[in-house]
Amino acid sequence: MTQRPAVVPAPAMIHVGDGTFLLGSGVVVGGEAAASALCAQLLAQRTGLALETGADAQLFCALIEHGEPESYRLRVTPEGVQLEAPDAAGLFYGVHTLVQLVARHDGEWILPAVEITDAPRFEYRGVMLDVARHFHGVNTVRGYIDRASALKFNVLHLHLTDDQGWRLELSSRPELTGSGAGTSVGDKPGGYFSAGDYRDIVAYAASHHMTVVPEFDVPGHTHAVGLGYPEIAAPPAVSEAVDDAVAQFGGGMPTPGVPYIGLAVGFSSLIIDSAATDEFLTAVFGELAAMTPGPYLHVGGDEALGTPPADFAAFMARVTAIVAKLGKTPIAWHEAGAAPDIAPSTVGQYWGFVAPTADSAEKARAFVAHGSRLILSPADAVYLDMKENDSDRLGLTWANGPTSLERSYRWEPTSIIEGIGEDAILGVEAPLWTETIVDAADIDAMAFPRIAAAAEAAWSQPEQRDWESFRGRVAGLGPLWSRTGIAFTRVAGVEWAYDED
């Protein structure tokens, strides 16, 4: 059998040998307990085979003393399978690579003979899920963690607040969810995570080697805050852009004290020069920090069009200082680079285009000038909510029109911001905004297969990245995704594989 292994993201080194390893009900999986149990579970899900775990194993998972964090080595021969890694994360990723290799041939389940040595390019490999525009509950978030971690993402950024809703219960400010969580875009039902729900998500993510990065977006995107705490909310700044969005999408104009269900942005702001606002920020970020074991808190800072520039700069300096004093690393969208006194540790998240404007590039470079680094999320490449075709039911097109799978793949992180090289890039993140995304099936349809292109940008070395190779490899994941219940979109231009009967 000759077949190019469908491994995504592309490993650092892969050599295809001769022969195959036959997977059957007599195969025993052994070694490190968590990895061997996961391997047996995922292989059973993929093949239907009930594999045993035990000491006399043909498929063995082992921790070793040396190696890069998250790296692994995988060797498949006709006689057996050996997976080694220096840490649990490496074994986890190696198991998922192993499962991607599974194929059906002549009525049997097999693994091709291969040798793989692999390690990540960037330490931060993120996906973002917006639960504010439409609320997505714990089970949906768990499902997204399953899907993303299988592609070797290690960060889940949760966009928890926006004009349409506040989605995390806080004891210090109960009216944030008491008044601000009842609706979503288009007057769909709202919702929120209890403190227990959030702990569950954080723990589930950790079990999949993912860190949760929670975001409270301030000072803009804060209309929902004013529903419960009007004393810290500025009046809506209605602009021509707001008028245009309402005319195109409906949802009505933003009105103080009334939930906002439209798609306009840039009209809301907290009151900047206010002791009450500072008390609010200290309370909500303090509580969020106590709930979040990971190192990052995201403070937003994007599209604050209703906040005068000088006020915005002062505000971002204050909120990043609050987060830094809590012992966390602030992350902010790249507009916050305009604030000269921002906390020096603040990581910038660039969401402009692959070909940046001079203004967005300057603001992004400011984070590096302060001594920090950048996360790259170019909207016209890795925003997973962009339509793939104009005629698609789901998604938007504002990021340079529809985004094909090929366009989502053909970009290089070090080529985005002039003067920003590999050392200044913390990683890559693929956001999924949910203005049009209502349920888990919508998430699957929009994220897959383009999420795989983002995974490869985050994990794989430049010399391993090739569009034609990727198109063939992602096609080979069709049977795995189908078997695991991922409702992916079979985009045109890819010869999607199917399992043999």
Annotated active-site positions, please?
A: 303
Indicate the burial class of 116 (C-beta count within 10 angstroms; 0-12, 13-18, 19 or more): buried
Provide the H-helix boundaries in 48-185: 88-101, 138-150, 175-178
Closest CA to 292 of 399, 205, 404, 213: 213
3-state secondary structure of 188: coil
Q: How far apart are CA 416 and CA 411, in angstroms?
A: 8
Residue 418 token pair: 């002039």
Q: How far apart are CA 33 and CA 54, in angstroms?
A: 9
Closest CA to 202 of 140, 138, 132: 138
Question: Taking a C-beta distance cutoff of 8 angstroms, is the pair 108, 22 a contact?
Answer: yes
Phi, psi of 102 (to 5 degrees): -60, 135
3-state secondary structure of 330: strand
Return the H-helix or E-strand segment holding 82. strand 80-85
Return the H-helix or E-strand segment holding 213. strand 211-218
Q: How far apart are CA 215 and CA 285, in angstroms?
A: 10
